[in-house]
Amino acid sequence: MDTYKIIPLPDDENYRHWKLFDDTYVIHYGEALDIFLLLGTKKALLIDTAFGRGEFPNLVNRLKGDLELMVVNTHGHFDHTGGNMWFPKVYMHKNAMAYANVPFEPLDEAWLANMPYPDYEMISIDDGYVFDLGDRNVEVLWTPAHSDSSLTFLDHKRRLLFCGDEFDAGQANLNTFESVGAFLKNCKRLQKREAEYDFIMPNHNGCPISKEYLTDFITAAQHVVEGVPDLVPTHDLPGFMHPICGKNGVRAQVGNSCINYLPEAPR
């Protein structure tokens, strides 16, 4: 098994990891970033690569054992793709290809040069694709709203729904008013299939979460689309939309679920 030389950086954060099942790991980086490693009888599937910092590639190698590794991104945002260059090929939705390698801020050049696959192969996958891990099939669904490249993964064996940033317990960050409608459609589609999974697995703010969150998400998004949003004060919110458009988002909250979006409602 390869052991990669690591270049530590002063602001590296720590990893923790835990087993959800014998064949399912949550790898937690820093304060609020989870990625997932699913083991089959023949192959392993790594869902997202976080920022790829610190001991990341060696930790993944150790946990996967001798299994052949496949790597996939839930979407193209850099906190999910930053470690892609540790691997020769990465599966993603085609929309992610334009920005999967665009960092949030300049990267340390020595650290970047240490990554073994700067020109890794991007493999396009779309709705309906199935990863066969050996006695474990993981179905891909295209669920664009937070990002146009968002993929959700239905793990039929462990009955888990890995959703990236789309159905997060603490927030669903939707960058346009229109994306609230797309989000609503995705929620309804997934709720129709709720008999096939037990828990939702978002990448930030805690997992697993109950699939009942979808009911609240649907109500919250429905009210936004109908022009009667359940708005709550936003003074404590991070300005997550500012880099995109310079505008403040608003937050609608119903039950346990809340969505952040730009309030460009129909006139």
Residue closer to Zn ion by CB (options 148, 165) is 165
Chain position whose Cβ is nearest to Zn ion: 77
Smallest distance from Zn ion to CB 75, Å: 6
Residue closer to Zn ion by CB (options 88, 238) is 238
Residue closer to Zn ion by CB (options 39, 183) is 183
**How many chain residues interact with Zn ion (CB under 5 A)?**
2
Residue closer to Zn ion by CB (options 34, 165) is 165
Smallest distance from Zn ion to CB 146, Å: 6
Select from 83-91, 160-168, 187-195, 223-231 the region that touches Zn ion (CB under 5 A): 160-168
Select from 30-38, 70-78, 128-136, 256-264 the region that touches Zn ion (CB under 5 A): 70-78
Q: Is 165 in the site for Zn ion (CB under 5 A)?
A: yes
Residue closer to Zn ion by CB (options 40, 82) is 82
Residue closer to Zn ion by CB (options 23, 165) is 165
Q: Is 77 in the site for Zn ion (CB under 5 A)?
A: yes
Smallest distance from Zn ion to CB 175, Å: 10
Cα–Cα distance, 229 to 130 (Å, whole number): 37
Cα–Cα distance, 108 to 116 (Å, whole number): 15
E runs forming strands in the chain: 15-21, 24-29, 33-39, 43-47, 68-72, 89-92, 121-124, 130-132, 137-142, 151-155, 160-164, 172-173, 199-202, 209-210, 231-232, 250-254, 257-261
In sign, the C-alpha dihedral spanning 164, 6, 118, 61 is negative
User: How much of the chain is in helix, strand and coil states, percent to nearest 5?
Assistant: 25, 30, 50
Query: How is residue 243 written in tokens?
Result: 């880099």
Query: How is residue 258 written in tokens?
Result: 């809340």
Smallest distance from Zn ion to CB 162, Å: 14
Cα–Cα distance, 46 to 70 (Å, whole number): 6
The residue ranges that bind Zn ion (CB under 5 A) are 77, 165
